Amino acid sequence: MKVFKFGGASVKDSAGVRNLGEIIKTQGKDAFVVVSAMGKTTNALEDLVRAYVHRQNENTQTVLATLKDFHQRMSIELLGNSIPVDETFAHLDLLLAQPPSAPYDEVYDQIVSLGEILSTQIIAAYLQQNNVPTQWLDARQLICTDITFREGRVNWTETNQRISQRVTGKGVKITQGFVGQTATNRTTTLGRDGSDYSAAIFAYCLNADSVTIWKDVPGVLNADPRWFDETILLDKLTYQDAIELAYYGATVIHPKTIKPLQNKGIPLYVRSFLTPDAPGTVIGNFEQHLSTPSFIFKVNQVLISLRPNDFSFIAEDNLSRIFGRFAQAGVKINLMQNTAISFSVVVDNNPDRVPALLALLKQDFRVSYNDSLELITIRYYDQGTIDRVLVNKKLLLEQKSRYTVQLVVKDLG
C-alpha cells in the first residue's frame, strides 16, 4: 500500500483539490491518503481559540464567519449544492457557545483539530463524486496518544492495533493528519506541521510500501528556496541525512517523520504536486553522502549565556539544573556549548516562553542574552562555504562536528 500526504498548500483552493484528485486517479488508486487543513486554516483556528478563551466575543464571531465562508465556498465550488461541513460547524458553534471548561492546550486541540476534519470531509465527498470510491476514516479513532495536549505522544501498541483492525478493504482511504486521541477520548494534536508525522505513523502500522509527501517544491533542496535564489534538488538522501536536516530546521519534512520509516525501511518520496510526474527526492537506506553542502537558516534566535553565581564549574549538577529549567519552560535548545564556568544556548525567541525561561534561570545563574540573531547550519561544509555565508555577518559562536557546522551570527547588513 502507498501512503500519500497532502499538506495545506496543496489544497488551499478548489484547483488544488482537483489536482489532488488527478494525482490519486493516476498514481494512487488504492492509496491511504493523509490530508492537512486547507491553506492557512490552522492559523485561523489558532486565532479562534485565542479569541474564544479570552472571551473576545466579537473577534470569535468574525474569525468563525471567515472560516465558515471559506469552507462553504470550497464545498460549493467542488461539489455544487452539497455542503458536507455543516455538521462540523454546528458542533463548533455548540462548543463556542459554552465557556471554556478545560486548560488552554486541551481546548486548543478540541478546536484546532477540526481544520483537518473539515478538509477531509470536503475532499472525500469530492473524490466520491468524481468516481473514486473513497472511505473517510476518523484519525482520532486510529492514532492513540497520551494526554500531552498540542504535542501528543503516540501510544504505538494501541495505535498499531487500532489501525490493523480498522483499516481494511480496497479503494482509496482518506484521513486527517495532525490529530489523535487520548485513551479517554479527548482529541489531541501532534504538534504544528505534524501531518507528515501522521503519514509516517500510518505507514509504519500498515507496513506500507512507500510514503509520498506532496509539496510545493520539487523535492528536498539543499536550501529553502524562500531564502536562497539558487538551490539544488537532492535526488537521493539517506535517512540519516534527512533526519539531520529536518532536526536542524529544514522545514520541508517534520523531524519526527523519519524514525518510523527508517525503522521499517519504508522509502519516503518528497515530490511536487505542481509537477506530479517528476521523480522528486527519495529518502532511504543508501550508502552515500551528499556531495553538495546543505544550508538551514533560522532567524529570530536568542543566544543565552549562563554563569553560576559562585564561580562553580559547569558540570553534571549544574547541567541537570539547567536542562530541568528548559524543560519546565518548554523551550527547545537549538545549539549549546560550554566552557569551564559558562554555558551558552541558542533558542527560538518565542515571546510566550523565553521571558519565563530567563526568569527561572536567573534564580541560579548570572544570565546575559543577545537577540535578533541568525543560526546557520551547514551540513557537509567546507571552509569556502563558511566564508561565503559569513560575508556581512558578525560571528558570535561556532560549533563544528565532522559533517555539520553551526554558526550563530548577527547580520550587519
292: Cα within 13 Å, side-chain hemisphere: 14
Q: Which is nearer to Mg ion, 177 or 180 (CB)?
A: 177
Pick out residues in 30-49 that bind ligand ADP (CB under 6 A). 36
Estimate the crossing angle of helix 195-206 against helix 156-166, to 10 degrees: 70
Report the nearest approach of Mg ion to the CB of residue 193 (Å).
4
**Strand 187-189 relative to strand 404-411, pairing:** unpaired
Query: From residue 108 to residue 147, what is the string marking binding to ligand ASP with x (rule CB under 6 A)?
Result: -------x--------------------------------
Closest residue by beta carbon to Mg ion: 193
Interface segment toward ligand ASP; rule CB under 6 A; list 11-19, 35-43, 82-90, 387-395: 35-43
CB atoms within 10 A of CB 284: 17
Q: The C-alpha cell of 396 is what?
A: 558570535
Q: Which is nearer to Mg ion, 193 or 241 (CB)?
A: 193
274: Cα within 13 Å, side-chain hemisphere: 7
312: Cα within 13 Å, side-chain hemisphere: 11
Pick out residues in 185-224 that bind ligand ADP (CB under 6 A). 193, 215-217, 220-221, 223-224
Work out whether 244 is an interface residue with Mg ion (CB under 5 A).
Answer: no
Give 290-337 as a DSSP string.
-SS-EEEEEEEEEEEEEEETT-----HHHHHHHHHHHHHHT---SEEE
Order across the sheet with 281-284: list the strands.
134-136, 172-176, 32-35, 2-6, 210-215, 268-272, 281-284, 236-238
CA neighbor of 259 nearest in space, from 280, 277, 232, 283: 283
226 burial level (CB within 10 Å; 0-12, 13-18, 19+): exposed
Q: Which is nearer to ligand ADP, 17 or 96 (CB)?
A: 17
Contact residue for Mg ion among 109, 116, 193, 374 (CB under 5 A): 193
Q: Which is nearer to ligand ASP, 252 or 331 (CB)?
A: 252
CB atoms within 10 A of CB 138: 14
Measured in Å, how far apart are the chain's first and last C-alpha atoms?
51
Q: What is the DSSP letter of 275?
A: S
Interface segment toward ligand ASP; rule CB under 6 A; list 65-73, 166-174, 189-197, 362-370: 189-197
Contact residue for ligand ASP among 14, 19, 42, 175 (CB under 6 A): 42
Query: From residue 193 to residue 222, what is the string marking binding to ligand ASP with x (rule CB under 6 A)?
Result: xxx---------------------------
Work out whether 7 is an interface residue with ligand ASP (CB under 6 A).
Answer: yes
The residue count of the chain comes to 413
**Residue 192 binds: one of Mg ion, ligand ADP, ligand ASP, none (C-beta under 5 to 8 A by kind):** ligand ASP
Work out whether 405 is an interface residue with ligand ADP (CB under 6 A).
Answer: no
Pick out residues in 3-22 that bind Mg ion (CB under 5 A). 7
How far is 329 from 235, CA to CA, in rounded Å?
A: 39
Cβ atoms of 108 and 150 closer than 8 Å: yes
- State which amino acid sits at residue 406: Q
Interface segment toward ligand ASP; rule CB under 6 A; list 76-84, 191-199, 233-241, 263-271: 191-199
Q: Which is nearer to ligand ADP, 9 or 132 (CB)?
A: 9
Query: From residue 225 to residue 254, what is the string marking binding to ligand ADP with x (rule CB under 6 A)?
Result: xx-----------------------xxx--
Work out whether 36 is an interface residue with ligand ASP (CB under 6 A).
Answer: yes
SS3 at position 32: strand
**Residue 194 binds: one of ligand ASP, Mg ion, ligand ADP, none (C-beta under 5 to 8 A by kind):** ligand ASP
How far is 137 from 109, CA to CA, in rounded Å?
A: 19
Report the nearest approach of Mg ion to the CB of residue 8 (Å).
6
Interface segment toward ligand ASP; rule CB under 6 A; list 165-173, 187-195, 255-263, 299-307: 187-195
Phi/psi of residue 252, each to 5°? -65, -25
How far is 214 from 194, CA to CA, in rounded Å?
A: 14
How far is 5 from 257, CA to CA, in rounded Å?
A: 12
Q: Which is nearer to ligand ADP, 145 or 212 (CB)?
A: 212
Q: Which residues bind Mg ion (CB under 5 A)?
A: 7, 193
Binding site for ligand ADP (CB under 6 A): 7-10, 36, 193, 215-217, 220-221, 223-226, 250-252
Q: Which residues bind ligand ASP (CB under 6 A)?
A: 7-8, 36-37, 42, 115, 177-178, 192-195
